[in-house]
Amino acid sequence: MSYYNFLLSDFKKRFIIYIPLTIILQSCIGSIAAMYILMSSTSDYFPFFQLTLCVILSMLYNASVLAQLHYKWVFNLLLLSLFTNIVLCIINL
């Protein structure tokens, strides 16, 4: 938990610097996950739940930044979005 607290305090101190960087990073990883999900679909099987989860989490992080939520909410949504999209990329490789 101390590493999480270290990252959270660093995110708080450099919040304005991290916002554009994390939006770009998270959006790129989310689009890569969506690409892999769509590439693994067939005419018989379309992974609608995976694609919906990927898009919702990516948009949720972007919306939290635009809504100027508390830095802890924004950081936790970033971690959730990155973790989920990376797992979806690995599943659909």
- Give every CB contact of residue 30 below 8 A, 6+ residues apart in sequence: 54, 55, 57, 58, 81, 85
In the chain, % of residues over pLDDT 90: 88
User: Does 29 reside within a domain?
Assistant: yes
Checking if the pLDDT of 43 tops 90, the result is no
Contact 84, 57 (CB under 8 A): yes
User: What's the pLDDT at 91?
Assistant: 93
Could you read off the pLDDT of 61-80 as tens digits, one per residue? 999 999 999 999 999 999 99
Q: What is the mean pLDDT of the chain?
A: 93
For 26, the domain range is 16-91
Contact 28, 80 (CB under 8 A): no
User: Does 4 reside within a domain?
Assistant: no
User: What's the pLDDT at 42?
Assistant: 81
- Give every CB contact of residue 90 below 8 A, 6+ residues apart in sequence: none
User: Does 8 reside within a domain?
Assistant: no
User: What's the pLDDT at 29?
Assistant: 95
User: Does 85 reside within a domain?
Assistant: yes
Residue at token pair 């659909």: 92
User: Does 35 reside within a domain?
Assistant: yes
The domain tally of the chain equals 1
pTM value > 0.95: no
User: Does 9 reside within a domain?
Assistant: no
Q: Give the separation between CA 41 and CA 16, rounded to whole angstroms.
A: 38
Could you read off the pLDDT of 44-56 as tens digits, one per residue? 788 889 999 999 9
